[in-house]
């Protein structure tokens, strides 16, 4: 949980520091409008922000946005405090399940989900929105429709891993009854 949270928090902090140096403190205000940087959709290449390409530009762009909602900006009409309380409640419930009731195969996926969710909750408490900045694409051929962050990647990977583990465990259970 701590490593996932740290990866998410540090990646966002690094990018925010780079963007503040380039565009100023206005980038930290999700409600601000910045004529220089179009704060509702800063599109920049890795080389613009970091000063080098590092071979990533054919797969990822930095497309910085403040997401006031949840996945795919759903529920962006809700007040940040409501989303924070709901998110906090889900995190507490998942953590309780992880530490008190989970099976061995559930622990890593749940840790991924909880760590990513905590990272996004910290953003929502600090800024009233979540910093999303990764846009995945394949050259100029296809672009993933959502913009996400490291915490979102861990949440998604955790959910996929959890579902795979459930199917594997179910098959093992069915086989044990047949034998």
Sign of the torsion formed by the C-alpha atoms of 99, 100, 106 and 110: negative
User: Does the active-site annotation cover 152?
Assistant: yes
In what helix (H) or strand (E) does residue 44 lie, and over which residues does it extend? strand 42-44
Marked catalytic residue, from 25, 29, 53, 132: 132
Any bridge partners for residue 67, and if so which? 130
Neighbours of 76 (CB within 10 A): 13
117 CB neighbour count, 10 Å cutoff = 25
Catalytic residue among 8, 53, 123, 152: 152
| Cα atoms in the 13 Å half-sphere on the side-chain side of 72 | 4
Q: Give catalytic residues, as residue numbers.
A: 132, 152
């Amino acid at each position: 949980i701590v490593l996932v949270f740290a990866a998410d928090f540090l990646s966002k902090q690094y990018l925010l520091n780079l963007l503040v140096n380039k565009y100023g403190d206005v980038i930290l205000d999700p409600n601000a409008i910045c004529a220089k940087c179009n704060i509702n959709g800063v599109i920049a290449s890795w080389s613009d922000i970091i000063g080098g390409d590092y071979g990533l530009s054919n797969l990822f762009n930095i497309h910085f946005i403040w997401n006031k909602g949840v996945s795919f900006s759903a529920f962006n009409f809700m007040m940040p405090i409501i989303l924070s309380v709901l998110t906090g409640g889900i995190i507490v419930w998942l953590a309780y399940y992880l530490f008190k009731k989970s099976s061995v195969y559930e622990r890593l996926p749940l840790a991924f989900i909880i760590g990513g969710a905590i990272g996004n909750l910290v953003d929502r408490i600090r800024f009233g929105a979540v910093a999303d900045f990764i846009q995945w694409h394949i050259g100029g051929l296809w672009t993933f429709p959502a913009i996400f962050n490291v915490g979102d990647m861990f949440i998604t990977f955790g959910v996929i891993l959890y579902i795979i583990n459930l199917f594997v465990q179910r098959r093992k259970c069915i086989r044990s009854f047949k034998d």
